[in-house]
A and B are shown apart, each in its own frame.
Chain A
């Protein structure tokens, strides 16, 4: 898919995803080694976006499995279309039992869910397993078979093996510890907050109207907030939101009043707002 790490960065950048060297290297390796990619990191740094960008670059279909508590085999893998099966049985009244039985467990009555969809077919696909940590432990067992051998076993049909391996991205916010077995099957990538220069480029890309000097100040203030001990430090998504807000307000530069008025865009807890205001001397006036 990619020829070099630089090729990864360049082509991801074309889709509007600016990747750090760590991200580009890991994506390159995941493609070359044919291994799934486990992406961890705080919310809002672009874990899901990465999968979307890779899909766009590769011209691949994005198959997404959104995990939640209680997601199970029938939501993740496949399900039999019971209604259609019943119709089929009542439609063919005068056939023998053997004919009916073999019939209703055929492909026609199979509802494929994300994991099976990603494995079947020859078109290129990116499989995004989003927020893996939200799923129950049992689902991880299911993922193990899919991720190590790229195959799914349907008892009535046999084992379905991928003819073309999808590019797999798993994301996690680490709200639950993923099993060692799952981690072993993946390349691991931690996306942290970008460095100042990269974040400035991201802001400039996402908020084109913002002028360079203001973008620089925005990133510096966010950097200062991240260095504070807050309950929830602002993420890249919040930086971009803030830049949009400032642009909408028509602010040309940062000063106490503007920052004070818009701090809520960056910080989501009242005690964080108070702490930050004190540290930035916002109420010194």
Chain B
């Protein structure tokens, strides 16, 4: 690690792993990173981390991928801790003390010991490994909360008003410890399996590459927070496109008219001014449990882009369809509660709770036909899994005929379309269907598909 060839190699594989996570890092940045390593040396690992982050990264969202990858390529050490871990109770005692004192260095050492002592599983060389889940399951740090709280109070470390904050603070310390355990387990696994593979597979992707269908609650909340920046980015892109498109062709009549004052020589070409036309947008969202995360996110994104359109109308359905435009506008302050509010306040389900595209789309074609006109672009959001009921293709055809364009965004992997109860291929013959699994794909699609 101290030889320069070793460093160069390690740096390039670190960069390779980051690129595999979708970061665009050029050779120039790698060279800068190498110069940073030269300037900073290896004495302080945290300085090295900051230095590499400053030279390689371009935005704050990339940090949460960079940190675990850095931990793999520039590990804190090799192998297990010096001494074997003592018993479980002893470790819990020391963990409680460290949490009480909020001693980060001590927590780090305990995480190493804990993974070493309780995290290993399997015995054959192929199937063995280290598991943070198993470690935390045996150690159960969350059950230390009451004990740590009492000992902090006992020491008089927290009195008066700030005392009511104590439990949350301890909870955050425990979360830090859990993250440390996860990092340590990853490092130990990487030692055995090769870090390139672990860096590619075991590091969670950035928020914009999380699969809508498999995102947990916390990842969805994180995704929602990306709505505003994403919308701003898209809005600038759309505005630029509109500006370019408005520079039209030469208006011959007005150019000649203007040339009268210069004796018929057209000194100033006059460009044809286009009538500014902002498109109308209609969104049809499947809000049934399986895809609600996706619809939710998309609805919020479109709502955030609302000033790019002259009119946006949003309809939600499970097996019945209802307009939720108003709900979306009023609820902008509380995006978390959006899907539950839709379930409560809008009529989206009939006799049963599972989605039925045929019924919902048919009802839309019937009741809201006037929402779709020659200037309207319709987006349908859903996985086209209609629980074996009639897909009602004529309704879709009818909508497609009235609208300017219809795009169907499907959060499922393309290879899964048509499997089981999915009728995606049938719909895809009538309207354009696009795979849209994560925020990155969605923003690319929105930028490409939205009419100027």
Contacts and interface: CB of A to CB of B under 8 A. Distances in A.
A167 interface: no
A201 to B, nearest CB: 16
Contact of B162 (A22, A35, A217): A217
B44 to A, nearest CB: 8
A177 interface: yes
A29 B161 contact: no
A190 B160 contact: no
Interface in A187-245: 187-190, 192, 216-217, 220-221, 223-224, 227, 229, 231
B54 A224 contact: no
A90 B55 CA distance: 55
B36 A29 contact: yes
Nearest to A31: B39
Contacts of A32: 35, 39
Contacts, number: 101
A114 B419 CA distance: 62
A231 B333 contact: yes
A189 B54 contact: yes
B162 A254 contact: yes
B59 A183 contact: yes
A174 B229 contact: yes
A277 interface: no
B39 A28 contact: yes
A154 interface: no
A188 B164 contact: no
Contacts of A184: 26, 28-29, 58
Contacts of A220: 162, 165, 169
A91 to B, nearest CB: 33
A56 interface: no
Among B26, B28, B35, B55, the one with the most A-chain Cβ atoms within 10 Å of its Cβ is B55
Interface residues of B, number: 37
Contacts of B229: 174, 177
A98 interface: no
A176 B50 contact: no
A195 to B, nearest CB: 9
Contacts of B164: 280-281
B54 A187 contact: yes
Interface in B6-39: 24, 26, 28-29, 32, 35-36, 39
B266 to A, nearest CB: 28
Nearest to B335: A229
A132 B32 CA distance: 23
B273 interface: no
Interface in A263-285: 271, 280-281
15 contacts: A5-B40, A26-B51, A29-B40, A32-B39, A177-B229, A180-B58, A188-B54, A188-B58, A190-B60, A217-B160, A217-B162, A221-B161, A224-B168, A224-B169, A280-B165
Interface of B: 24, 26, 28-29, 32, 35-36, 39-40, 44, 46-47, 50-51, 53-55, 57-60, 63, 160-162, 164-165, 168-169, 172, 229, 232-233, 236, 240, 333, 336
| Minimum-distance CB pairs A-B, first 10 | A254-B161, A25-B50, A183-B58, A190-B60, A26-B54, A217-B162, A177-B233, A22-B50, A187-B54, A224-B165
